[in-house]
Amino acid sequence: MCTGRCVRNAPMDNMNKWLSRISPEKRPLDEVINRTLDRQVKLAVTGLSRSGKTVFITSLVHQLLHGLEGTHLPFFNIVNSGRLRGTKAMQQPDMHIPAFRYDASIEQLCSDPPHWPTPTNGLSEIRLAIRYTSTNPLFKHVAPVSTLYVDIVDYPGEWLLDLPLLELDYAQWSKQIAEACSKEPRLRLSQEWREFMDTLDVTQPAKESQLRQASDLYTKFLKECERKEHNLSLLQPGRFTMPGELAGAPLLEFCPVLELPNKEYKENSMYAVMQKRYESYKEHVVKKFYTEHFSSFDRQIVLVDVLRAFNTGYATFTDMRDALNMVMRSFRYGKSGIMNRLFGLNIDKLLFAATKADHITPNQLPHLERFLQQMLVKSQNNAAFEGVTTETLALASVKCTQAAYTTFQDQRISCIKGVPVDSDTPIALFPGEVPTDIPPPEDWVDERFNFMEFKPPRIANVHSDVLPHIRLDRALEFLLGDKF
């Protein structure tokens, strides 16, 4: 017998009411229907700070907007099969979120001289409408031309690191930070903050001046950790180094404690006040951010700047690896289907991408992919266990070097040629080899790895020329190809 939840024979108005009622996030009805019919994709472009998210989104949008103008996407099936009818940037669905400034980013990339887009310092969003000729036997005769809407949200990588806090109370988080600060380089970098905390009795009544000084010194410590010579990734809370609209708010005036109280404390004690602010931060900043944005994604790409870790050392590598694996536990994974789309979306395709593939020679690309697999094997295994389709890919959102060759001792050696970020003169160099397995700590010696940073290439006319890339078409095919 058909119950109140059976809609197979229900009138359309009853179905619409039912869809609206069961939507867990109270999404607009047209969004629920689009997702149910595979006409909308929410893509999570995930990565830590300086992983290349803004450049990736800019290039992805540029490639799709110019999809009809050349052969720059040979492995994106909808393009090479001639079924793409065009792509257009549309008005974004969330009016309270600033628009992703594609125009400003592309202008920076194509200026004279070109330079990399300004890093993200807040939330932004862009929606693309991709029109194509359908091959679906159910629709191609009734509606031969279909539209897929792709929504992308950009955000500072620093904020991503807050997601794991949802699983930790204040005492657990403090213990975790204290343990990290007992080892180098955090032991040295946190000295000023630790010395100040040692002067405090956190069971005594809180003073605003002490709370402010403690949080200021802790923030100073985090900013030292992210400096280029250290390049540490696991910096929490993320809003301390990238506060956005919360700059100066009392909500950010707390920090972990080095030792938990060994005696009772009152509600007005420093420990109790910082504990309350930590929980408030989780509730009003982290949980709100996750619920409004990350909980609704159904496709994900994780960008990782592996070469940056090589240049800085083993401590940077392990910190980046631990931060990424910790963040990945915060996402929901599971096979996509109509029930998942209606009752709560789950990410069903996950791409791990090593960025800056143009900073190494082409024959090293398999090595870079292999290393990234080793680095994130735990996250990849967890996703695969949940039935998620995963893949690892080395790519360059914007290719800024060219392959070159030289001869050394009668042997032909692969090189790359580009303009370093601190120069205006092109150079050719052998960038070194990428190990396929993770070297032991003693092998991460100074100057073993030295992967150089390069300026963007010069583009004569952004309106007619397409940004050069490496394997971005393969990424598009993996993330979106099955939707057309």
Give the 3-state secondary structure of residue 153.
Answer: strand
**For residue 79, which phi and psi values (nearest 5 degrees)?**
-85, -50
* Rounded CA separation 67/51 (Å): 25
Same domain, 410 and 386: no
CA distances from residue 361 to 143, 303, 366, 409, 470 in whole angstroms, order as listed: 46, 19, 11, 19, 12
Same domain, 102 and 243: no
Residue 452 has pLDDT above 50, yes or no: yes
Same domain, 393 and 306: yes
Q: Residue 345: which pLDDT band, with cuts at 50, 70 and 90?
A: low
Kindly give the pairing relationship between strand 40-47 and strand 145-154: parallel
Structural domain of 201: 163-282
**For residue 356, which phi and psi values (nearest 5 degrees)?**
60, 40
The pLDDT score that the predictor gives to residue 34 is 54
Same domain, 32 and 18: yes
DSSP state of 132: E
Residue 448 in any domain: the answer is no
Residue 390 has pLDDT above 60, yes or no: yes
The pLDDT score that the predictor gives to residue 39 is 83
Same domain, 365 and 467: yes
Say how many domains are in the chain.
3
Question: What number is the average pLDDT over the span 449-457?
Answer: 88
Residue 422 in any domain: the answer is yes
Same domain, 64 and 200: no
Residue 87 in any domain: the answer is yes
* Rounded CA separation 354/368 (Å): 7
Q: 3-state SS of the chain: helix, strand, coil percent to 5?
A: 40, 15, 40
Same domain, 236 and 336: no
Residue 239 near residue 158, CB atoms below 8 Å: yes
Same domain, 184 and 262: yes
What are the pLDDT digits (tens) for 88-112? 999 888 888 888 999 999 999 988 8
C-alpha angle 411-416-417 in degrees, rounded to nearest 5? 120
Q: Residue 412: which pLDDT band, with cuts at 50, 70 and 90?
A: confident
